[in-house]
Amino acid sequence: MRLRTLPLAASCIMAGAVAAAHDGGHKPLVIGLALLTTFLLQILSNLANDYGDYSHGVDNENRVGPARALQSGAISPSAMKTALIVVSALTLCSGLSMLWLAFGSAGLFTQALIWLIVGIAAIASAIKYTVGSSPYGYRGFGDLFVFLFFGLVGVMGTHMLNTALWSWMSLPLAICIGCYSTAVLNLNNLRDHENDRAMNKRTLVVMMGFVNGKVYQTSLIAVGTLALGSWLFVHNQNTIGWLPLIPAFLQCLLLLKVWKTQVPQALDSELKKVALLTFATSVLLWFTL
């Protein structure tokens, strides 16, 4: 399940809740169910990724990083399929409960239907990232979907769940969390680009090259940090409100390690740092609020 990835999944919900609170919306139970649903979606994506990469032969002896369940033989493919079905069902149940509390109990059935469709799309996207005959993660679209669901849907969706209103004021936070989350995926792809190329897994890094992948990483962190700074500039009311920029500054320092690294495998340790700093950003947003 790769539980260490869950703090990153929580970041978009916490940032969205902060944006909603600034607009007068705060529903603790809805936020809790949003966190649960997002955790389940992340776990579903992780299980599907394990199954998909194993099925396509990408998880082989040349792969870098933590051991995979199917690759190591700890779990059978049939057991993993069962897990995918069970977690998909749990995600749907959690999501439906969240939508009922946010919209259904207030009679906002149009909003509930729209977000039900978005939720089903999120479940399908979590699975189709690496599973199937033509997974979008093998065609360079993984970054787009991470930015979309961790950023725009995760942050702005949480805002709407709490306020029942669509607000573009939460967009800078959505861009920030979306860019930082995509940066984690890009580091993963930088680390694995040699094996991915050999196995015809065409991530953006495989398409653009290792050096350009570093430029892309720099752009993601820069855009995310500028977006965060712009949101704080508009909404900040005291000195302590600038604390979320501390982990953002540390994100920029991590770029020095990325640029100095010539051996892709050495980037493995940086993934956790970027994910935890993204989580720290959302925690400090919450704390300063």
Q: pLDDT of 173-216, one tens digit each?
A: 999 999 999 999 999 999 999 989 988 899 999 999 999 999 99
Domain ranges of the chain: 3-288
Q: Which two tokens stand for residue 269?
A: 């340790």
d(CA 83, CA 217): 33
278 and 184 in contact (C-beta within 8 Å)?
yes
Question: Token pair for residue 57?
Answer: 């032969």
141 or 59, greater pLDDT: 141
pLDDT-derived band at 65 (thresholds 50, 70, 90) equals: low
Of 1, 14, 85, 7, which Cα lies nearest the Cα of 49? Answer: 1
| pLDDT reported for residue 236 | 81
CA distance 88 to 103: 22
Q: Are 254 and 270 in contact (CB under 8 A)?
A: yes
pLDDT digits (tens, 9 = 90+) for 72-92: 888 999 999 999 999 999 999
Average pLDDT over residues 42-62: 85
Residue 55 CA: distances (Å) to CA of 76, 198, 274: 12, 15, 29
Cβ(220)–Cβ(180) under 8 Å?
Answer: yes
Q: With contact defined as beta carbons under 8 Å apart, do 274 and 184 qualify?
A: yes
Helix or strand (DSSP H, E) at 167: none
* pLDDT > 70? residue 156: yes
The string of pLDDT tens digits covering residues 104-137 is 888 899 999 999 999 999 999 999 999 988 899 9
Apex 130 CA angle, 126 and 132, nearest 5: 100
For tokens 């649960």, what's the residue? 36
Name the amino acid, one letter, at 128: K
Give dist(CA 216, CA 201) in Å, integer: 18
Share the mean pLDDT of the chain.
92
Q: Nearest to residue 25, comparing CAs of 16, 33, 35? A: 16
